[in-house]
Each structure stands twice: as structure tokens, then as C-alpha cells.
Structure 1
Amino acid sequence: MDFKDYYAVLGVSESATPEEIKKAYRKLARKYHPDVSKESDADARFKDVGEAYEVLKDPEKRAEYDELRKYGARKDGSFEPPPGWQSASGFGGGGYTDADARQFSDFFEEIFGGGRGFGGGFRQQTMRSRGEDVHARVALFLEEAFHGCEKQLSYTVHEFDDRGRMIARPKNLKVKIPAGMKEGQHIRLKGQGSPGIGGGPDGDLFIEVELAPHPHFTVEGRDLLITVPVAPWEAALGATVTVPTVGGKVKLKVPPGSNSGRRLRLKGKGLPGKHPGDQIVVLQVVMPEQHSHEARSLYEKLAEEESHFNPRQKLHV
């Protein structure tokens, strides 16, 4: 059974008003009326237009059709309604258009029980289908991603009620986040998506990890970057300084003669994993805001001793 896109048949959008739908129907009905049109497929087009209007002009039937339209057609264009589907609006009364006396499509009859006898009711289907996969995101602090944690996740699954209508149902799940998750990485939880249809398997839940900005660390893949201030004398003479890592404080040797921007690597101190990342320490030489008289005298003496040094030599100034 082929799926019928009634909006496409009438050439209107999903948000079309009743007036727009009526106007489109009248225009197309005149165009394809068998007594007027000379097109070879006029009769079939006329039936399609009338059928589409029968559904979209009625608020109840249109609402039901919109729900089924979300369910959609298969890849080959065929369609079967969900198990237990039965039209609440039915099609057993009068008030029909010129299409009444003509046979409706199998799609129409299956959904609304109309066409042949009007009111034939729904034929029970035994379609078996896998539930849809659900995608969600979870935001983690860097410390949570580093050590691993448990997070309460809320998301929505789609299922069919006992009347065959597709409904959205909220679902809550406690998720264990393994240590070392990085930005954009996915966790797959089998069977935690939307329920299957007709005994089919449930879909899966795919969780994408997002990392919240950190006040000190920048994340690049599994590597962590941090800028560490050092005093001028530490940079000039070399020193052992304490630097933070996500896993705790460590000692770092600053080589003599280090400049601002120099990068030092702490192997394996990045995000854990099969191939753990590193922590990159970027040195930043910081001057004291104020100097004592003795310190200023020392700087003046240093300037005399190193007067041959021109830090702007590459600028040719």
C-alpha cells in the first residue's frame, strides 16, 4: 500500500489554513474534472484531489492524518499503519464532495475505513518494526569527564497508545559516564530508545558528550592546556614549580632561560583512555606589580650587565 501525501496532492503546506485548502481543492478539481480536462491522467488526479480534500477539510481527520504522517512511509514508499490503529473520527456520515461516488485509495480505506461502503473499519495489522533510535546530549564538567560519573538524563521517546496514535512519553534514566569521555564522543545504550512495534526490538539511545568551559584548562581532543605564570627569575634561572592537573597537583621543572609561551609537556596527565592525553603547560612570565628600592637597583644593574641584549632584534629596530 502506497503512502499518500495529501498536502503534496493539493500543493499546500502542512500549516495551510482551511481557506487555503479549500481554495486549492476547488482550483485543482476544476483543472482535473474528467468532463473538462483533456489530460490522460485527469481521472486519477481528480480522485486524488477529492480524497485529499475529504481528509484535510475535517479537523479530526486532519489531526489523525498528521499523526500518521509523522510515522511516515518506508524507504520503498509503502505504508502500513501502526498496530491497533483505528480512526476515532470514522467515515460513516454524509457531507462528502464529488469524490464520494468514486472509489478511494487503499491508503484512505486502511486509515479511515472509508471508500468501499464507508465505515469498513481498520484491518488489524501485524507489522513488526524496530523502535526508533533517540539522540540526547549530556553536559559534563571537565572533572566529571576525567573521573567518570553518574548523570540523571531526561529525554523523550515515541510510542503508540492503545488506539494506535503516536505519542511522546518522557523517560528518565540514570547513566554511568565512563572516565575519559571527550567532547563530541557518543555513548550507546542498547534498547533505551523508543519501544519496538509489533514485538520488534526497542531502539537505542545515543548520548553525545558536551564539556562545559573550564576556568583554567582548555581541552584539545584528549590533551589539556593550561597557562601557568612564572616569575622573571624563575624563567631566567630555572625553577621547580607546582602546577595543577585535573587529577591533582604535580611538580614541574622550568628550564633556565624560558620565555613566555614556552610549552612543557606532562605526559599522560590529560584525559584518560586507551591512549591517555597529555597536559600542556604554557609558561607566562609575569612581572611583580611593584618593586622595592633594592629590587629596582638589581634590575638597573642587570640592564647594565646585559646591555648588549636586544629583544627586538628580529624587528630590525
Structure 2
Amino acid sequence: GPGWAGQGPGWARGPGGEEIHFTTGEGFEGIDLEDLLGGAFGRRRRGATGRGWGPVPGADHEAELPLTVEEAYRGGRRTITIPGPGGGRTLQVNVPPGVTDGQRIRLAGQGSAGSDGARAGDLYLIARIADHPRYRLEGRDIHVRLPLTPSEAALGATVAVDTPGGEAKVKVPPGTSSGRRLRLRGQGMPSPRGRPGDLLAEARIMVPPTLGDEERRLYEQLARISAFNPRSPS
């Protein structure tokens, strides 16, 4: 129609044969016909499939990866099952040593399949470290309780403490009270990049539930000669 040349109102046919009315009258000056038809032309250009969208990448997925503190410390290969149709999928996962709670592990191409040859999505495993009766994690730092006898705390000692990486030696200064934290630098969770965490051993002074005759005599003697009063104002 005459409007195709931009000389007033007219009709045009879009890519699908539909009739589109347009005008260059007041209020529409400067509008390009391609702007009006761009959506239709764009859909035609985006792909050659019947849907008109072209290849679509697969979706990413997330799943939780339960770990003990020891498994997170050591890392290594784990076999996991991802729920899904037909009983799900079984995957081998390489867990890096020192993974922290909430850290994501990416498995490239293990998400949903793409369409028309597009790449598959990724699977992200979120590490969830279970509570432990002896260890408490804060980032890469490991907190443990360090039981001490009264004599070890008063006189000082070097004692063994269990860690997820094995036995470590802690030097207890003389005069250590319950609640004091002794830091072993670099003895916490390992790190693939950068400095490992620390081990923080919290002193807990323990007394025997029952005393032998000689032990009682010595404790009574100590009580008589000691002027220490832990309840006096400092």
C-alpha cells in the first residue's frame, strides 16, 4: 500500500502474512516499521526449529551433599544418588579436602539436558556438614574441648588432643583455668587455596568422681596450705 513508503497511513504484511496497519501521523513520527515488526522478524531469525526459539541450554540443579566433619576434612571420592525418574542417578563426586558447610561443588554437564544440541546444565552440590560430638566448626577453624586434670592445669603439661586429622599435641601453660582457649595455628580444616584454619582447644578442668585414700589426704593437705580463692573479687 502507499504507506509502505512512509507517505501516510497504509497497510503492510508481516512475515507470517498478517496485515499490519501503521501511520506516520502526529504522535508517531520517527517510528521505524522494523520496530513494529521486530518481534516477528526476530522470532524468524532466532532459530530454524518448529518452535522458533532455537537450541535451549539445559537448566542447572542443586542438591545437598551430607558430610561428616572427618569426610569434609579429608575429602576424597563419594558416591551419591540424585533423586529423579527411574530411581535417579548415581554419581561419583570428588570432594576437595577442607570443604566448608554451605560450599558449592560444581559438576559440569550433570544438570538437565539441553534441546537441539545445546549444552546440558550443571549440578551444584551444597555441602552440609553434620554436627559432631567433639568438634565444632567455624569456617575453617575447629573447636574442641580439652579435658585437664587439676595438676595439669596448675603446673602446665603437654597433652594429646584428637582432631579430624589425627592426634595433635597441645602445650598447656601453667595456671590454665577452664574456658581458656589454646590455639594451634594451621591445625584446622585444610584449604585448597590459601592458609588452613586453626585448632582451638578449650580447657576443661576435670576432677575424679571418687578419690583414693592417698589422693584425699593430698587434696586435704593442699586445701589447708593453699590461699587461692577463685571466688574472691579480682
Q: What is the TM-score when the length of structure 2 is the normalising length?
A: 0.73
- 2:149 aligns with 231
Task: Please point out which of 50, 56, 59 is paired with 1:124.
Answer: 50
Matched, 1:251 2:169: yes
CA RMSD of aligned residues (A): 2.3
Query: Which moves more between the two structures, 146-155 or 182-191?
Result: 146-155
In 2, Cα distance between equivalents of 1:301 and 1:255: 24
1:293 to 209, 213, 223: 213
Give the residue type in structure 2 aligned to 1:287: V
Q: How many residues align?
A: 185
After superposition, give the CA deviation of every residue in 1:225-266 in whole Å (9 maximum; x if it has no partner). Answer: 110111001101111111112111122211111101111011
Task: Pick 1 or 2: higher relative contact order, CA cutoff 8 A, min separation 6.
Answer: 2
Three-state SS of the structure 1 residue aligned to 2:233 is helix
Aligned to 2:233: 314
1:191 aligns with 2:126: no
> What is residue 96 of structure 2 aligned with on the other side?
178
Give the SS at the match of 1:130.
coil
Report which of the two has the higher share of helix. Answer: 1
Which runs of 4 or more aligned residues in structure 1 lie more than 4 Å from their structure 2 counterparts after TM superposition?
A: none
Q: Which amino acid aligns with 2:163?
A: T
Partner SS for 2:151: helix
Distance of 1:240 and 1:152 partners within structure 2: 40
Unpaired stretches in structure 1, ≥5 consecutive residues: 1-78, 80-122, 158-166
The structure with more strand, counted as a fraction of residues: 2
Aligned pair in 2 of structure 1 residues 169, 124: CA closer, same or farther (>3 Å)? Answer: farther
CA distance in 1, matches of 2:66, 2:181: 29
Identity of paired residues, percent? Answer: 42
Deviation digits for residues 46-67 of structure 1 (CA, Å, limit 9, x no counterpart)? xxxxxxxxxxxxxxxxxxxxxx
- Structure 1 residue corresponding to 2:79, chosen from 133, 152, 171: 152
Give the TM-score normalised by the residue count of structure 1.
0.55
Equivalent residue number for residue 17 of structure 1: none
Q: Amino acid of the residue matched to residue 176 of structure 1?
A: N
